[in-house]
């Protein structure tokens, strides 16, 4: 459900007809068209061969060249880099590059002809095309300059591969719909994206699937339940906070993955007001919740049969007469108290209730939270990697590897006892929401969250539930080197989570 219209159609054909622009992914060093040239107009073919023979197109990774046949036909050559290094990631990037390079002259139909690409690489190329075929134009008047182009692509393949490839690409399209949904939610301007608006979108979304359920805990209910973190952050806004719970395949028995998202629909900092520069970017501060919602869409739409539950903690952090103050002590759902020393460290407050609920009301195999939590994480890792913390080294490695598999980097960060100590040495409460100094701010935030992950069972041998925290402050938007997206929200980690949960 991309709010901004369907994403591009990619179909499979076992013929060698070429419709629209021919797209040719090529390896570095190829000096002539490989034996895949049936159906290519002969003048275009000789033009391509001349360009390759003269070394005018070297097929370096992500280079493109467009050729117009003198007697009809158009081609876009795209580089895959060296054949020995052309893995699924190279193909995914090349696919994205093709779409990013499409201009009016290429028309809206592409035919991709591969050679020497296996099923995984062809699927990955299609995935890259679909991921990159996204723009957020909902608030733009449609005119000639901004007309909707509905790009479609056909992949020519061997007859024997067609059915399998077609199924793989359909699955990829479902997952991409989850990524695009996450982007749509993140890009939505904050006057239209507020806690209950997110909840309503979730309820509307749930109607299209028989096996999903969405439950909304509104402000009054959150107060009744004692969700002191969520309430404290959201009470200063006229648009009140809520918690949205997504259940996929709820009738399945047994333990299940559990996702928790930070959903600050706008983060002004509250009374600890942020400086003005780039404050508009704080509309993306609900990126964690968008990741959860997008993952649920990806799983539901690709027909995943297992049970998965997502909890999104939605609030708008505003300065107001009824906003929380620095110095307040709040009581969270867990019963633990927090001394609020800075109202801009609000993500951890809403997550304290989400994590606690996740571990106590359900029986999760593991909990993963997503949050645009700290500027410090962006200082540490830039826009290149998500910060990844876990109370279980093997689990952290599994997430790191799932991210690597899909080209979404999540970098291991330390969860140290010293950071926990720093966050629990409040003079008047159980925890404090601010570290003692500014160093290691992403680590102290993670250590704070750990205080709100419940144990499994009770007594001496109770162990903390397997949990990981992903700080997406640097990767949810503004990642210029992420080739899968032009600008705005990236929709990062929907694909990582699908990989982790489904193993595919
Ligand atoms: N949403 C911000 C974190 C953020 C900042 C994400 C910049 C992306 C870019 C978060 O709520 C916040 O303000 N964190 C503070 C914490 C501090 C007060 C301990 C921060 O990072 O400065
Ligand atoms: Zn903040
Ligand atoms: Zn925030």
- Does the pLDDT of residue 6 top 80, yes or no? no
The answer to whether 244 and 199 have CB atoms below 8 angstroms apart is yes
Any idea what DSSP says for residue 8? P
pLDDT at 1: 39
Residue 347 CB–ligand 1 contact under 6 Å: yes
Confidence of residue 2 (pLDDT cuts 50, 70, 90): very low
Residue 326 CB–ligand 1 contact under 6 Å: no
**What pTM did the predictor assign?**
0.98
- Determine how β-strand 74-79 pairs with β-strand 21-26: parallel
Of all residues in the chain, the percent with pLDDT exceeding 70 is 97
Residue 346 CB–ligand 1 contact under 6 Å: yes
CA 180 to chain centre: 8
Assigned token pair, 375: 């500027």
* Distance between Cα 344 and ligand 1 center (Å): 7
Site to substitute for ligand 1 among 270, 374, 446, most atoms within 8 A of C-beta = 374
> Which of 377, 388, 186 has the alpha carbon at shortest distance from 293?
186
- Stretch 20-46: mean pLDDT: 88
Residue 433 CB–ligand 1 contact under 6 Å: no
pLDDT at 33: 85
What's phi and psi for 192, nearest 5 deg?
Answer: -105, -15
Strand-pair partners of 64 = 78
- Determine how β-strand 455-456 pairs with β-strand 463-464: antiparallel
Assigned token pair, 152: 């479609």
* Distance between Cα 154 and ligand 1 center (Å): 44
Angle value at C-alpha 200, between 198 and 201, nearest 5 degrees? 65
The answer to whether 12 and 169 have CB atoms below 8 angstroms apart is yes
Which ligand sits closest to the CA of 281? 1
The minimum-distance atom of ligand 1 relative to the CA of 444 is 19
Residue 471 CB–ligand 1 contact under 6 Å: no
Which ligand sits closest to the CA of 270? 2
* Distance between Cα 314 and ligand 3 center (Å): 11
Q: Which helix (H) or strand (E) holds 78?
A: strand 74-79
> Would you list the DSSP string of 102-126?
--GGG-SEEEEE-SS--HHHHHHHH
Assigned token pair, 109: 């139909």
Please identify which residue in the block is written with the tokens 């503004």.
Answer: 478
* Distance between Cα 282 and ligand 1 center (Å): 9
Q: In what order do the strands lie in the sheet with 242-248?
A: 212-217, 242-248, 308-317, 256-267, 364-371, 467-471, 386-390, 410-412
Dihedral of the CA atoms 98, 101, 107, 113 (nearest 10)? -20
Which ligand sits closest to the CA of 377? 1
Q: Which residue has the higher pLDDT, 144 or 41?
A: 41
pLDDT at 3: 47
The minimum-distance atom of ligand 1 relative to the CA of 434 is 19
Residues 105, 135, 209, 495, CA torsion sign = positive
Residue 441 CB–ligand 1 contact under 6 Å: yes
Average pLDDT, the chain: 96
* Distance between Cα 146 and ligand 1 center (Å): 35
Residue 422 CB–ligand 1 contact under 6 Å: no
Distance CA 368, CA 354 (A): 11
Which ligand sits closest to the CA of 373? 1
The minimum-distance atom of ligand 1 relative to the CA of 342 is 18
Residue 344 CB–ligand 1 contact under 6 Å: yes
- Stretch 440-466: mean pLDDT: 96
Residue 473 CB–ligand 1 contact under 6 Å: yes
* Distance between Cα 81 and ligand 1 center (Å): 39
The minimum-distance atom of ligand 1 relative to the CA of 476 is 8
- Stretch 308-317: mean pLDDT: 99
Number of H helices, E strands in the chain: 14, 19
Angle value at C-alpha 351, between 266 and 207, nearest 5 degrees? 75
pLDDT in tens, 130-177: 999 999 999 998 876 656 679 999 999 999 999 999 999 999 999 999
- Does the pLDDT of residue 477 top 50, yes or no? yes
Residue 381 CB–ligand 1 contact under 6 Å: no
Site to substitute for ligand 1 among 265, 279, 287, 344, most atoms within 8 A of C-beta = 344
* Distance between Cα 425 and ligand 2 center (Å): 21
Distance CA 169, CA 196 (A): 34
Please identify which residue in the block is written with the tokens 């439950």.
Answer: 215
Burial class (CB in 10 A: 0-12, 13-18, 19+), 9: middle
CA of 260: how far to CAs of 126, 254, 322, 366, in Å?
30, 19, 27, 11
> Which of 87, 27, 85 has the alpha carbon at shortest distance from 57?
27
Mind telling me the catalytic residues? 274, 348
The answer to whether 299 and 501 have CB atoms below 8 angstroms apart is yes
Confidence of residue 411 (pLDDT cuts 50, 70, 90): very high
pLDDT at 16: 85
Confidence of residue 38 (pLDDT cuts 50, 70, 90): confident
- Does the pLDDT of residue 489 top 60, yes or no? yes
């Amino acid at each position: 459900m991309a709010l901004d219209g369907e994403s591009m159609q990619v179909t499979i054909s076992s013929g060698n007809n070429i419709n629209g622009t021919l797209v040719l992914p090529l390896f570095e060093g190829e000096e002539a068209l490989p034996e895949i040239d049936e159906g290519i107009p002969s003048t275009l073919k000789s033009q391509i061969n001349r360009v390759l023979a003269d070394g005018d197109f070297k097929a370096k990774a992500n280079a493109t060249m467009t050729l117009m046949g003198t007697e009809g036909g158009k081609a876009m050559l795209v580089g895959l880099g060296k054949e020995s290094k052309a893995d699924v990631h190279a193909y995914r990037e090349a696919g994205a590059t093709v779409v990013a390079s499409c201009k009016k002259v290429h028309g809206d139909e592409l035919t991709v002809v591969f050679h020497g690409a296996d099923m995984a690489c062809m699927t990955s190329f299609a995935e890259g095309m679909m991921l990159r075929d996204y723009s957020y134009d909902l608030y733009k008047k449609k005119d000639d300059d901004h007309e909707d182009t509905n790009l479609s692509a056909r992949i020519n393949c061997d007859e024997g591969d067609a059915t399998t490839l077609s199924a793989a690409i359909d699955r990829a399209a479902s997952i991409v719909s989850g990524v695009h949904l996450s982007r749509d939610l993140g890009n939505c301007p904050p006057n239209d994206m507020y806690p209950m608006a997110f909840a309503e979108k979730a309820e509307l979304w749930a109607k299209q699937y028989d096996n999903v359920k969405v439950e909304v805990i509104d402000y009054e209910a959150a107060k009744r339940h004692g969700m002191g973190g969520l309430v404290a952050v959201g009470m200063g806004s006229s648009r009140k906070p809520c918690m949205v719970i997504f259940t996929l395949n709820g009738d399945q028995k047994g333990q299940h993955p559990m996702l928790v998202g930070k959903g600050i629909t706008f983060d002004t900092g509250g009374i600890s007001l942020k400086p003005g520069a780039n404050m508009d970017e704080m509309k993306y501060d609900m990126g964690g919740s968008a990741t959860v919602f997008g993952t649920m869409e990806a799983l539901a739409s690709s027909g995943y049969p297992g049970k998965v539950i997502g909890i999104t903690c939605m609030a708008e952090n505003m300065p107001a007469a009824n906003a929380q103050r620095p110095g307040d002590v709040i009581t969270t759902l867990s019963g633990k108290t927090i001394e609020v020393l800075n109202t801009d460290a609000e993500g951890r407050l809403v997550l304290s209730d989400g994590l606690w609920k996740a571990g106590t009301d359900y029986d999760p195999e593991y909990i993963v939270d997503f949050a645009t939590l700290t500027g410090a994480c962006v200082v540490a890792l830039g826009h290149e990697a998500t910060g990844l913390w876990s109370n279980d080294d093997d689990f952290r490695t599994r997430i790191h590897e799932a991210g690597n598999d899909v080209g979404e980097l999540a970098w291991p960060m330390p969860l140290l006892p010293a950071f926990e100590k720093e966050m629990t040495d409040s003079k008047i409460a159980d925890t404090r929401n601010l570290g003692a100094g500014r160093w290691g701010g992403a680590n102290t935030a993670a250590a704070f969250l750990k205080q709100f992950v419940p144990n499994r069972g009770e007594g001496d041998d109770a162990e903390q539930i397997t949990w990981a925290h992903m700080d997406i402050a640097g990767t949810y938007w503004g990642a210029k080197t992420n080739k899968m997206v032009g600008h705005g929200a990236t929709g990062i980690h929907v694909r990582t989570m699908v990989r982790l949960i489904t193993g595919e």
